[in-house]
Structure 1
Amino acid sequence: MADRLRAGIIGAGFIGGVHAHAVRAAGGEVTRVAASRPDRSEEAAVRLGARTAAVSGDALIDADDVDVVHVCSPNSTHVALARRALAAGKTVVCEKPLATTLDDARALVAAARGRVATVPFVYRFHPAAREIRARVHAGGAGPLHLLHGAYLQDWQAAGAPAGWRGDAAEGGAHRAFADVGVHWCDLVEFTSGHRITRLLAATAGGGTASTVQFETDSGATGSVVVSQTALGRRNALRISLDGERAAYRFDQESPEQLWIGDRDGDRVLHRGAPAYSPAAARYSLLPPGHPQGYQDCFNAFVADTYSAVHGDAPDGLPTFADGLRAAALTDAVIRSSESSTWVEVPS
């Protein structure tokens, strides 16, 4: 394997472009791109700055000049492409959902054993999120008793077309939760150290909105509202971790700020503040006042993935096991919504 990792990107939409930027930021090279048709692959190779186009995803996986396969294609294709890439001995970065069924996600985790295989739960890479995690783990909040928030978008509001995501065969069931609700759950579990053990969910709008109540293995309760039809909400991922001594709040649309509440009142800690922990400062790459955002998080995720390929797996790298966790939560939300009852989340 080359010291400079060579990446192939399958899927050339918005997220494929994000991956391409992140590959280069990590010191890699985009060697091949495969889109839905050969002519689209040729166009995408130019647009994404790739060395050449691949006639298909399978051809890209089999190419000798691809070390890392980035799967950015529609949800229904993830399993077959990831399985083939793993069998070919490649490192795999697979967009979420890892799979549209729990059994398929379990099979991919088994196939990935011993390999570097990651899923871009990139909101973990906001410095403020790392700071929350460090403070909770250090006991700053005391016992957490309430975890709550929302993930609201509006791109499907007012009857806007959903594209392939609106087709259950392509995007999977309960698509808003599977698409963005799992990001919220991953961030809350990652920062709090809690695991959601049981939940009660209701889904509406053909899968475009879900509300979920839950309990955790450490005695907290919580709730999240997920919608992709919330007018005026572009990408409002908001979490609040409420403890006995302090509460920590984060809003992805204001990523430079961490809100802290305690008995002395509320205060805002800005990214890059001297009070930031080493774990958070590691991801604070620009001087304070120069905002970091989503692409910076993605760059950090890919850089950490590539570090793992070279034998240095950083703390907090989301792997296929985290993709399986997301599939388990989605499965529970589907079962609860269909039965209108509390259900256990598969471990």
Structure 2
Amino acid sequence: MSPLEPAQPPVPGADERVGVAVVGGGFMATVHSRAARAARARLVGLASSSPERATDAASRLGFDRAYASLDELLADDAVDVVHVTTPNALHPAQAEAALAAGKHVVCEKPLATTPDDAARLAAFVAPGGAAAGRTATVPFVYRYHPMVREARARVRSGEAGTVLTWHGSYLQDWLLTSADDDWRVDPDTGGRSRAFADIGSHLVDLLEFVTGDRVRRVAATKRTFLPERARHRAVETEDAVAVTLETDGGAVGALLVSQVAPGRKNRLHLEIAGTGESLAFDQEQPETLWVGRRAGTTIVPRDADQLAPDAARLVTVPAGHAQGYQDAFDGFVADTYAAVRGAAPEGLPRFADGLRAARVTEAVMDAADAGAWIDVPGGER
């Protein structure tokens, strides 16, 4: 990690637009830039893998300028916040460089491809760390669906009772065939884990966020069904993984994660059963929360008048007008920029949460390799 002494972070005034730059020019850069625009930030500039790609992406996404390099981006005093949207293996060095340059950082998940790198980044911005005072966040954006916050409020209020079981799945089909390929398939760029690190981490983050309970140990089985793809031979990263887990609070659960599930585009589903009621959320049907009781079942709509305050604050359009993934991302980015200005938004996922995800992912991979239960390290979250 860099030995540079970090510069002081910029703190825009309440009426001053946050200056934003993005590193990377792919799909996630598009999503981040839309969210930044919705939060009334100024899209200062963009850097990518080459000056030519940066110029193309900056023009396409509406940034003021393209940078020839990351160093040029970091030297621009107009940039307050850097969004890192590059391949996974690049995250630690780029995020740290931005922090050392005095910028606030939004780093795509996984925060790092190893727990050690994630721990160093989390320590860098923790109280007493070299970059303490920076806002440093990771987009676990499914926290920003209003109905997820409603489920969390019901657990925190005691309505759900003591949590007994969890089950969930995150299913996609975008890597279903051998013709489907991506840099994430390669462990040198994507990391040791593919499916779990990419999407399973969202599922575990949501389960822990909603319940306030933490995964204590895991057992897992993983499969690589397609050992050869269009641009990669001898593929080692997993297409699917099944996980059994136990929590600190005594709950048990099971998770299925797959990127080879035909017809499932982005189906994150979780159900939590407590002694008082069960709560189920489906990301592809995000307008409702299923509440199950022994005597009667309720479908709660995304209607601000019927929701807990923390859920209602994330409702951006009236009930009956659908909200979705980009709206959740917009809420996350808006909260990040509020934190840059000194606020403390409820539930904002920070680098400590990225470290937590890295530790859970490593435990799942170790459990699958060992064929045994593996404890998940604790520590800061």
Task: Give the TM-score normalised by structure 2.
Answer: 0.90
Deviation at 1:273, TM superposition (A): 5.4
Deviation at 1:308, TM superposition (A): 0.4
Instruction: In structure 2, give the amino acid aligned to 1:68.
Output: V
Alignment of 1:34-49 (within 5 A): 34-49=47-62
Deviations 1:252-303 (A, max 9, x none): 0000010010022222111015331111100011011110000000110000
Q: For 1:159, what is the secondary structure of its paired residue?
A: coil
Q: Residue 256 of structure 1 corresponds to which residue in structure 2?
A: 287
Instruction: In structure 1, give the amino acid aligned to 2:251.
Output: A
Deviation at 1:245, TM superposition (A): 1.4
8 Å Cα contact 1:305-1:313 kept in structure 2: no
Deviations 1:54-95 (A, max 9, x none): 112232122222110000000010000001011111100000
Q: For 2:291, what is the secondary structure of its paired residue?
A: strand
8 Å Cα contact 1:174-1:208 kept in structure 2: no
* 1:52 equivalent in alignment to 2:83: no
Q: 1: distance between equivalents of 2:150 and 2:211? A: 11
Identical amino acids, percent of aligned pairs: 50
Alignment of 1:1-347 (within 5 A): 1=10, 2=12, 3-113=16-126, 114=132, 115-205=134-224, 206-272=237-303, 274-347=305-378
Q: 2: distance between equivalents of 1:119 and 1:230? A: 26
Instruction: In structure 2, give the amino acid aligned to 1:191.
Output: V
Q: Greater helix share, 1 or 2?
A: 1
Deviations 1:293-328 (A, max 9, x none): 000001100000000011111110000000000000
Q: For 1:312, what is the secondary structure of its paired residue?
A: coil
The unaligned stretches of length 5 or more in structure 1 are none
Q: 1: distance between equivalents of 2:76 and 2:305? A: 47
Q: 1: distance between equivalents of 2:201 and 2:64? A: 34
Larger CA deviation: 269-278 vs 329-338: 269-278
Larger CA deviation: 152-161 vs 222-231: 152-161
Q: 1: distance between equivalents of 2:175 and 2:71? A: 32
Instruction: In structure 1, give the amino acid aligned to 2:320.
Output: G
Q: For 1:158, what is the secondary structure of its paired residue?
A: coil
Q: Residue 3 of structure 2 corresponds to which residue in structure 1?
A: none
Q: For 1:157, what is the secondary structure of its paired residue?
A: coil
Instruction: In structure 2, give the amino acid aligned to 1:266.
Output: T
Instruction: In structure 2, give the amino acid aligned to 1:240.
Output: E
Q: For 1:207, what is the secondary structure of its paired residue?
A: coil
8 Å Cα contact 1:123-1:187 kept in structure 2: yes
Instruction: In structure 2, give the amino acid aligned to 1:235.
Output: N
Q: For 2:298, what is the secondary structure of its paired residue?
A: strand
8 Å Cα contact 2:111-2:351 kept in structure 1: yes
Q: 2: distance between equivalents of 1:190 and 1:216? A: 13
Q: For 1:304, what is the secondary structure of its paired residue?
A: helix
Q: For 2:216, what is the secondary structure of its paired residue?
A: strand
Q: For 2:306, what is the secondary structure of its paired residue?
A: coil
Q: For 1:30, what is the secondary structure of its paired residue?
A: strand
Q: 1: distance between equivalents of 2:82 and 2:142? A: 21
Q: 2: distance between equivalents of 1:291 and 1:204? A: 36
8 Å Cα contact 1:124-1:187 kept in structure 2: yes
Deviations 1:177-208 (A, max 9, x none): 00000000000100011100100011111411
Q: Residue 129 of structure 2 corresponds to which residue in structure 1?
A: none
Q: For 1:50, what is the secondary structure of its paired residue?
A: coil
Q: 1: distance between equivalents of 2:93 and 2:109? A: 14
Deviations 1:142-161 (A, max 9, x none): 11100111000000002242
Q: 1: distance between equivalents of 2:355 and 2:281? A: 25
8 Å Cα contact 1:145-1:244 kept in structure 2: yes
Deviation at 1:174, TM superposition (A): 2.0
Q: For 2:150, what is the secondary structure of its paired residue?
A: helix
Number of positions where the alignment pairs a residue of Structure 1 with one of Structure 2: 347
8 Å Cα contact 2:35-2:330 kept in structure 1: yes
Q: 2: distance between equivalents of 1:340 and 1:280? A: 40
8 Å Cα contact 2:305-2:312 kept in structure 1: no
Instruction: In structure 2, give the amino acid aligned to 1:142.
Output: G
Instruction: In structure 2, give the amino acid aligned to 1:22.
Output: A
The unaligned stretches of length 5 or more in structure 2 are 1-9, 127-131, 225-236
Q: For 1:100, what is the secondary structure of its paired residue?
A: coil
Structure 1 runs of 4+ with >3 Å offset: none
Deviations 1:108-167 (A, max 9, x none): 011122221000000000000000000000011111100111000000002242311111
